[in-house]
Amino acid sequence: MMRSIETKNLIQDLARQAGSQHYLNAISLDWLLLVAIGFSLAIAAAMVFVLIGVRPDFGIMVQRAPFHYKIALTLSMVCAGFFFAQRAGQPDRTKLPLIAPLPALLLLALGASTDTSGLPITGNSGISVPACVGAILVVSLPVLAVILGVLRSRAPTRLVVAGAAAGLLSGAVGATAYTLACKNDGALFVAVWYSAAILLMIGLGAAIGRRALAW
Protein backbone atom coordinates (compact mmCIF):
# COMPACT_ATOMS: atom_id res chain seq x y z
CA MET A 1 0.00 0.00 0.00
CA MET A 2 2.80 2.34 0.94
CA ARG A 3 4.38 1.82 -2.45
CA SER A 4 1.30 2.95 -4.36
CA ILE A 5 1.10 6.11 -2.26
CA GLU A 6 4.71 6.67 -3.24
CA THR A 7 3.70 6.26 -6.90
CA LYS A 8 0.96 8.84 -6.42
CA ASN A 9 3.49 11.32 -5.06
CA LEU A 10 5.86 10.52 -7.89
CA ILE A 11 3.13 11.21 -10.44
CA GLN A 12 2.42 14.57 -8.84
CA ASP A 13 6.11 15.47 -8.92
CA LEU A 14 6.42 14.47 -12.55
CA ALA A 15 3.21 16.20 -13.59
CA ARG A 16 4.45 19.47 -12.11
CA GLN A 17 7.28 19.38 -14.66
CA ALA A 18 4.80 19.53 -17.55
CA GLY A 19 5.97 21.83 -20.31
CA SER A 20 9.49 22.21 -18.97
CA GLN A 21 12.00 20.88 -21.45
CA HIS A 22 15.57 21.49 -22.38
CA TYR A 23 15.62 23.58 -25.54
CA LEU A 24 17.70 20.99 -27.41
CA ASN A 25 14.94 18.47 -26.84
CA ALA A 26 12.48 20.58 -28.81
CA ILE A 27 14.53 20.01 -31.97
CA SER A 28 13.44 17.05 -34.08
CA LEU A 29 15.81 14.11 -34.32
CA ASP A 30 16.27 14.69 -38.06
CA TRP A 31 17.50 18.23 -37.58
CA LEU A 32 19.61 17.37 -34.60
CA LEU A 33 21.31 14.58 -36.58
CA LEU A 34 21.91 16.85 -39.57
CA VAL A 35 23.44 19.54 -37.38
CA ALA A 36 25.54 16.90 -35.60
CA ILE A 37 26.74 15.52 -38.94
CA GLY A 38 27.76 18.99 -40.18
CA PHE A 39 29.46 19.83 -36.90
CA SER A 40 31.34 16.54 -36.61
CA LEU A 41 32.32 16.60 -40.29
CA ALA A 42 33.98 19.95 -39.59
CA ILE A 43 35.82 18.47 -36.60
CA ALA A 44 36.92 15.43 -38.62
CA ALA A 45 38.10 17.62 -41.51
CA ALA A 46 40.05 19.82 -39.11
CA MET A 47 41.67 16.70 -37.63
CA VAL A 48 42.64 15.47 -41.11
CA PHE A 49 44.05 18.91 -41.84
CA VAL A 50 46.13 19.03 -38.65
CA LEU A 51 47.20 15.38 -38.38
CA ILE A 52 47.85 14.53 -42.03
CA GLY A 53 47.43 17.68 -44.11
CA VAL A 54 45.53 17.87 -47.39
CA ARG A 55 47.01 16.37 -50.51
CA PRO A 56 49.72 18.55 -52.11
CA ASP A 57 47.93 18.49 -55.47
CA PHE A 58 44.58 19.27 -53.82
CA GLY A 59 43.51 21.80 -56.48
CA ILE A 60 43.93 19.32 -59.31
CA MET A 61 42.70 16.36 -57.30
CA VAL A 62 39.24 17.84 -56.68
CA GLN A 63 38.64 18.11 -60.41
CA ARG A 64 39.42 14.49 -61.17
CA ALA A 65 37.25 11.38 -61.22
CA PRO A 66 38.88 9.37 -58.39
CA PHE A 67 38.08 12.13 -55.89
CA HIS A 68 34.52 12.35 -57.17
CA TYR A 69 34.17 8.62 -56.71
CA LYS A 70 35.47 8.81 -53.12
CA ILE A 71 33.14 11.67 -52.26
CA ALA A 72 30.12 10.03 -53.88
CA LEU A 73 30.83 6.76 -52.09
CA THR A 74 31.43 8.25 -48.64
CA LEU A 75 28.49 10.65 -48.85
CA SER A 76 26.15 7.85 -49.92
CA MET A 77 27.33 6.01 -46.81
CA VAL A 78 26.65 9.10 -44.71
CA CYS A 79 23.09 9.09 -46.10
CA ALA A 80 22.65 5.42 -45.24
CA GLY A 81 24.01 6.05 -41.74
CA PHE A 82 21.69 9.00 -41.30
CA PHE A 83 18.58 6.97 -42.08
CA PHE A 84 19.66 4.08 -39.86
CA ALA A 85 20.51 6.36 -36.95
CA GLN A 86 17.28 8.30 -37.38
CA ARG A 87 15.24 5.09 -37.13
CA ALA A 88 17.31 3.69 -34.29
CA GLY A 89 16.60 6.78 -32.19
CA GLN A 90 12.84 6.24 -32.37
CA PRO A 91 11.57 3.24 -30.43
CA ASP A 92 8.36 2.84 -32.42
CA ARG A 93 10.15 2.58 -35.76
CA THR A 94 11.17 -1.04 -35.73
CA LYS A 95 11.67 -1.50 -39.47
CA LEU A 96 15.11 -0.50 -40.65
CA PRO A 97 15.24 1.26 -44.03
CA LEU A 98 16.98 -1.47 -45.97
CA ILE A 99 16.98 0.57 -49.18
CA ALA A 100 19.12 3.24 -47.54
CA PRO A 101 22.51 1.50 -48.01
CA LEU A 102 21.63 0.45 -51.59
CA PRO A 103 23.25 3.44 -53.39
CA ALA A 104 26.45 2.97 -51.39
CA LEU A 105 26.53 -0.75 -52.11
CA LEU A 106 25.96 -0.13 -55.83
CA LEU A 107 28.78 2.41 -55.89
CA LEU A 108 31.04 -0.04 -54.09
CA ALA A 109 30.31 -2.83 -56.55
CA LEU A 110 30.63 -0.47 -59.50
CA GLY A 111 33.95 0.96 -58.33
CA ALA A 112 35.45 -2.40 -57.48
CA SER A 113 34.39 -4.09 -60.72
CA THR A 114 35.18 -1.30 -63.19
CA ASP A 115 38.54 -0.24 -61.75
CA THR A 116 40.83 -0.09 -64.78
CA SER A 117 43.41 2.22 -63.22
CA GLY A 118 45.76 -0.70 -62.68
CA LEU A 119 46.67 0.69 -59.25
CA PRO A 120 47.40 -2.04 -56.68
CA ILE A 121 44.73 -2.94 -54.13
CA THR A 122 47.24 -2.36 -51.34
CA GLY A 123 47.85 1.24 -52.39
CA ASN A 124 50.88 3.26 -53.48
CA SER A 125 53.17 2.34 -50.64
CA GLY A 126 53.66 -0.34 -48.05
CA ILE A 127 51.89 1.62 -45.34
CA SER A 128 48.92 2.77 -47.43
CA VAL A 129 46.47 0.29 -45.93
CA PRO A 130 47.18 0.80 -42.22
CA ALA A 131 47.56 4.56 -42.76
CA CYS A 132 44.23 4.84 -44.54
CA VAL A 133 42.25 2.57 -42.20
CA GLY A 134 43.96 4.01 -39.12
CA ALA A 135 43.34 7.62 -40.16
CA ILE A 136 39.66 6.98 -40.86
CA LEU A 137 39.25 5.29 -37.46
CA VAL A 138 40.98 8.11 -35.59
CA VAL A 139 38.99 10.93 -37.19
CA SER A 140 35.77 8.91 -36.81
CA LEU A 141 36.06 8.54 -33.04
CA PRO A 142 34.98 12.09 -32.10
CA VAL A 143 32.18 11.78 -34.65
CA LEU A 144 31.01 8.60 -32.93
CA ALA A 145 30.95 10.41 -29.60
CA VAL A 146 28.80 13.20 -31.06
CA ILE A 147 26.35 10.81 -32.76
CA LEU A 148 26.03 8.63 -29.64
CA GLY A 149 25.33 11.81 -27.70
CA VAL A 150 22.52 12.71 -30.08
CA LEU A 151 21.00 9.23 -29.86
CA ARG A 152 21.25 9.27 -26.07
CA SER A 153 19.14 12.41 -25.98
CA ARG A 154 16.34 10.44 -27.67
CA ALA A 155 14.92 7.04 -26.84
CA PRO A 156 16.88 4.22 -28.45
CA THR A 157 15.55 0.84 -27.31
CA ARG A 158 17.58 -1.52 -29.49
CA LEU A 159 20.95 -0.44 -28.21
CA VAL A 160 23.21 -2.68 -30.27
CA VAL A 161 21.47 -1.73 -33.52
CA ALA A 162 21.54 1.94 -32.57
CA GLY A 163 25.24 1.69 -31.68
CA ALA A 164 25.97 0.01 -35.02
CA ALA A 165 24.04 2.73 -36.86
CA ALA A 166 26.02 5.39 -35.02
CA GLY A 167 29.20 3.53 -35.99
CA LEU A 168 28.21 3.44 -39.66
CA LEU A 169 27.35 7.13 -39.68
CA SER A 170 30.53 8.17 -37.88
CA GLY A 171 32.75 5.94 -40.01
CA ALA A 172 31.18 7.42 -43.14
CA VAL A 173 31.65 10.99 -41.90
CA GLY A 174 35.26 10.20 -40.96
CA ALA A 175 35.89 8.67 -44.39
CA THR A 176 34.38 11.73 -46.07
CA ALA A 177 36.83 13.94 -44.21
CA TYR A 178 39.72 11.62 -45.02
CA THR A 179 39.13 11.98 -48.78
CA LEU A 180 40.82 15.41 -48.46
CA ALA A 181 44.12 13.71 -47.64
CA CYS A 182 43.84 10.30 -49.30
CA LYS A 183 46.66 9.71 -51.76
CA ASN A 184 45.35 6.48 -53.23
CA ASP A 185 43.16 6.89 -56.28
CA GLY A 186 42.50 3.27 -57.19
CA ALA A 187 38.74 2.62 -56.97
CA LEU A 188 39.39 -0.92 -55.78
CA PHE A 189 41.61 0.35 -52.97
CA VAL A 190 38.95 2.86 -51.92
CA ALA A 191 36.10 0.35 -52.13
CA VAL A 192 37.93 -2.24 -50.04
CA TRP A 193 39.76 -0.24 -47.39
CA TYR A 194 37.24 2.55 -46.79
CA SER A 195 34.63 -0.16 -46.29
CA ALA A 196 36.94 -2.04 -43.95
CA ALA A 197 37.42 1.04 -41.79
CA ILE A 198 33.68 1.73 -41.74
CA LEU A 199 32.92 -1.89 -40.87
CA LEU A 200 35.32 -1.62 -37.93
CA MET A 201 33.45 1.51 -36.79
CA ILE A 202 30.13 -0.36 -37.08
CA GLY A 203 31.58 -3.11 -34.92
CA LEU A 204 32.89 -0.63 -32.38
CA GLY A 205 29.56 1.20 -32.24
CA ALA A 206 27.67 -2.06 -31.76
CA ALA A 207 30.09 -3.17 -29.06
CA ILE A 208 29.82 -0.03 -26.96
CA GLY A 209 26.16 0.71 -27.80
CA ARG A 210 24.71 -1.44 -25.05
CA ARG A 211 26.55 0.53 -22.39
CA ALA A 212 26.90 3.92 -24.00
CA LEU A 213 23.24 4.22 -24.97
CA ALA A 214 21.57 2.62 -21.94
CA TRP A 215 19.10 4.84 -20.07
Partner 1 sequence: MWSEAMRAERQGDVAAYERLLKELADLLRRMIKHRLAQHGLGAGDTEDLVQEVLIGLHTKRHAWDASRPFLPWMYAIVRYKFVDAVRRLKRESRYRIDITIDEWSELLEAPAEDADRRMLEIDRHLSDLPQGQQDVVHALAIEGASVRATARKLGTSEGAVRVTFHRALQRLMARAELGQAVTLRGKI
Residues that bind partner 1 (CB under 8 A): 2-4, 6-7, 9-22, 25-26, 28-29, 89-92, 94, 153-155, 157, 214-215
User: Among residues 16 and 118, whose Cβ is nearest to partner 1?
Assistant: 16
Contact 176, 71 (CB under 8 A): yes
Q: Is 121 exposed, middle or buried (0-12, 13-18, 19+ CB in 10 A)?
A: middle
Closer residue to partner 1, CB minimum distance, 12 or 116: 12
Minimal distance in Å, beta carbon 167 to partner 1? 20
User: Smallest distance from the beta carbon of 27 to partner 1, in angstroms?
Assistant: 9
Residue number, 94 or 124, with CB nearest to partner 1: 94
| DSSP letter for each residue of 35-82 | HHHHHHHHHHHHHHHHHT---TTHHHHTTSHHHHHHHHHHHHHHHHHH
Chain-centre distance for alpha carbon 178: 13
92/116 with CB nearer partner 1: 92
Shortest CB 8 distance to partner 1, Å: 8
For the chain, the farthest-separated pair of C-alpha atoms sits apart, in whole angstroms, at: 78
